[in-house]
Every structure is written in C-alpha cells, then in structure tokens.
Amino acid sequence: MNLLDSLGARFGLPPAAPAVTDPAEIDRLYRYWRLRVMYSMTTGYALFYLLRKNLSMAAKPMMDEFGFSNTQWGLMLSVATIVYAVSKFLSGVVGDRANPRYLMAGGLLLSALVNVAFGFGAGLGAFVVLWALNNLFQGAGSPPCFRLLTHWFSPKEIGRAWGVWNASHQVGGALIAVGAGYLVTAFGWRYAFWVPAGLCIVGAAWLFNRLTDSPEALGLPAVEVYREGATLAPVAAREQSFWGIFREHILTNKWVWIVSFANFFIYIVRIGVLDWAPKYLVEAKGFTLKDAGVSLSVFEMAGIFGAYAAGWISDKLDGRRGPVSVFFMLLLLVAVGLMFVVPSGQRLTMAVLFGALGFFVYGPQMLVAVAAADFATKVASSSAVGLTGLFGYIGASVCGVGTGMLVDAYGWNGAIWLYAGSALIGCVLLALTWSQTAATAARARG
C-alpha cells in the first residue's frame, strides 16, 4: 500500500452496511439523508470561508500598521495559495477514499486554531508561515463535498445540486466581507481572525455529527439506481490503488486536463476580485472599507445565482457544460472591461458591476468542477476536482504576487488588464469542451 492509499485508509472509509430492501424505506432514507448531507456540507464549507477570506478585509489596516508593500502582501498571498493548491489536490486524492466527516471536520478545526494564532502575529515572517499553514488545512474543505455530491446526486441532477452547494462560497464570502469589515472597524483587525475562529471550533463539532459517507455505507442502493433505475456493474474502486484510479480516469483523460488549465485563468479573475477588491475600491474609487465590504458581498451573493443558473442550464443541455461556460466567460470579459470606465465614487454602479462579475465568474468556476467530475466518473471525482483546484490556485498564486507587482508598477489598470486577458484565455480553453458530456468523454477514452 503506497502513502496516499495509507492516508485514505486512516481516514476510515466505512464498509457497506446491510442492504435496505423496502422501497418505501429506501425513499424515506434517501430524502432525509440527501437534505441532511446538502445543508451540512453547504454550511460547513461556508464556515471554511470565514477562516480564509477574512484576510482581504484586514489587508489595508495590517499593511498600514506594519508598512507592508503591495508586492510583500502579494507574496504572502501567493505562498499561501500555492500551499492551498497542493493541499486541495492531495486532499482530493484522499477524499475519494476517505470518510468525509473526518476530513472536513478535522480540517475546519485545525484551520480555526491557526486563525487564533494568526491574530497574535506581529511580523511578515510569522504571517507568511501561519497563513500558509492555514491554507494547508483549508485544502480539506471541498474534496469531501465532491465525494458527497457525486455519491448522493445522479448525473442528470448534479449540475443543479452542485449549484446549490456552491452557494457556500458566496454565503461564506459575503458573511465574512460584512462581518470582518465591522470587526476591523469596531475592534481592530485581529478580531477578524479570533471571532470567526471561535465560531468554527463549534462548527467543526457540529459538522462531525451531521455528515455521513456514501449511500452504500447506509445500506442504500447507488444513487443512479435510486434516481434513474440504472443497472450498475460492480465497481471495485476501493480495491484499486491510487495510481490505478489516477492513471485510468485522470492522467490519460484530456478533458480533465483542459478544464484544469481553464481553471487556472478563471481563478486569476475570481481570486483577484476576492483578495484585492477592498483595497482597490478604497484607493481607486474612493470607497470606505464598509462600502467596499458591501460591494464584495454583492459580488458573492450574485455568484449564488450565477452558479445555480449555470448548473441548471447545463443539466437541461444533457450535461453539456462547455457552451454555458463559454457564454458566461464572454460576459465576464465584458464586465471586467467595464471596470476601466466606472468613475470614482459611483457606489451603486460599482456594486451592480461587482454583481455582474460575481454572477459570470462563479458560473464557469462551478461548471469546471462539475465537468471534471463528469469526465472522471464518481470513483475519481474528488481527485479530478482536486486537480482543477490545483491549477486554479496556482492561478490564484500568480494573481497574488502578479496583481501586487502590476499595481506597484502601473496602478490598478495594470491589474484589470491581467484579469481581462485571463478571462479571454479561459473562454478559449472552455470552448474546446463545447460538445463534451460525461458519456462522450468516456467513449473518446475507450
């Protein structure tokens, strides 16, 4: 057994329970557990955001207090996002073979403890190390959700289900944008780390209690059987090695790699807005920090509707995620371009524009993950989405230091050009998947 197989085994994937045979009981249990799994993992991942996106709201007062340059701050963001990218991929691999309740609740608890320590930090070196450590534990947040989504929701409904879960990104981001803005203003930047940490320590215990694993672990039939009446051949995924699954479903699967490369560019835009918008709005558009927090919350809340709309439309197109992604990316490019022309002080106009940015970036960001899961099948879904996350957060790391350097050298317009170019390249890559679904990708592989 190799290292990754051992790590997966240690997280305790439960054995299949005795089969439930009564159709009425199967239906009752499925209805109960699908709802419970959805609200638990959605709430749980929103809590992760309270411990990761608090940093952007604390950026300006921290930089003012310690005299950090934009480049120094961007370097800290880049180091953390590289760590997060690797962690998300490795957690994705483990997540295909691990009990979600251990992986997700444990990651949230450890992240909360690091946030407590970060609030006591007093220098760039400490901040870099602690924020990198925080992102190491943050990587355990989403892979358990990918496993749960693909095991509890069938291929014909997973786009909508993923869109519902994806709201956790925006809910968590919006709550921390407003909440941390208030905490920083009223009590100082350190409380933007201490207060969310306290909430998430309690949340980790709740999450451990609420989550479960696959339907089979509860004695229920596979979701394809329950929802679509499918007849499934036995799958020996648990007996396969990590390398066997990775080689068969990911390494030789060009569609997973294409959407992963596209995610690199999508994340430059998404993380650029999340990490730099408060500072941009204060310095370039004359906003107060509270006003900036409101605009950022509009960005996040609009993303809820964008992600769900993208998933719903792509489900209606028989799982063709490509055309929907391309349409959203083209409109994202337009929205980024409009940032050049909105004058200073136009709070309502900028809030509307940030809403458009959120709607159109979160649609393809979500569909990249759904497409990767489609193309890799559910036995490797967490690994495949982990790979897209690896590329996405490498893009985010480029965005961190790249935005800082461009702003120092050329002003905020330099950063906007970076985001516009990234939106265009991402659109071109996603266009390559225009006609692909899970079924056509499987036929192309073999």
Q: Is residue 129 part of a domain?
A: yes
Q: Is residue 165 part of a domain?
A: yes
pLDDT at 227: 81
Helix (H) or strand (E) holding 2: none
Cα–Cα distance, 113 to 267 (Å, whole number): 27
Q: Is residue 59 part of a domain?
A: yes
Each residue's pLDDT expressed in tens, for the chain with a length of 446 residues:
455 455 444 556 666 778 888 999 999 999 999 999 999 999 999 999 999 989 988 988 999 999 988 888 888 888 887 898 889 888 888 887 788 999 999 999 999 999 999 999 888 999 999 999 999 999 999 899 989 998 999 878 888 999 899 889 878 988 888 899 899 989 999 999 999 999 999 999 999 999 999 899 999 998 888 887 655 544 444 445 666 667 777 778 899 999 999 999 999 999 888 888 888 888 888 888 778 888 888 888 898 899 899 999 988 888 889 999 999 999 999 999 998 888 887 888 888 999 999 999 999 999 999 999 888 877 777 888 888 988 988 888 788 888 888 998 999 999 999 999 999 999 999 999 988 776 665 555 55
Q: Is residue 33 part of a domain?
A: yes
Helix (H) or strand (E) holding 141: none
pLDDT at 234: 45
Cα–Cα distance, 325 to 445 (Å, whole number): 23
pLDDT at 276: 86
pLDDT at 145: 93
pLDDT at 1: 47
Cα–Cα distance, 427 to 268 (Å, whole number): 13
265: which 2 tokens? 């560019």
Q: Range of 389's domain?
A: 19-230+239-445
Q: Is residue 9 part of a domain?
A: no
Q: Is residue 10 part of a domain?
A: no
CB 46 within 8 A of CB 301: no
CB 215 within 8 A of CB 151: yes
**Which residue spans within 132-172 are E strands per DSSP?**
none
pLDDT at 300: 80
pLDDT at 28: 95
Q: Is residue 369 part of a domain?
A: yes
- Name the domain count of the chain: 1
Q: What is the CATH number of the domain that holds 404?
A: 1.20.1250.20
Cα–Cα distance, 232 to 230 (Å, whole number): 6
3-state secondary structure string across 210-230: HCCCCHHHHCCCCHHHHHHCC
Q: Is residue 8 part of a domain?
A: no
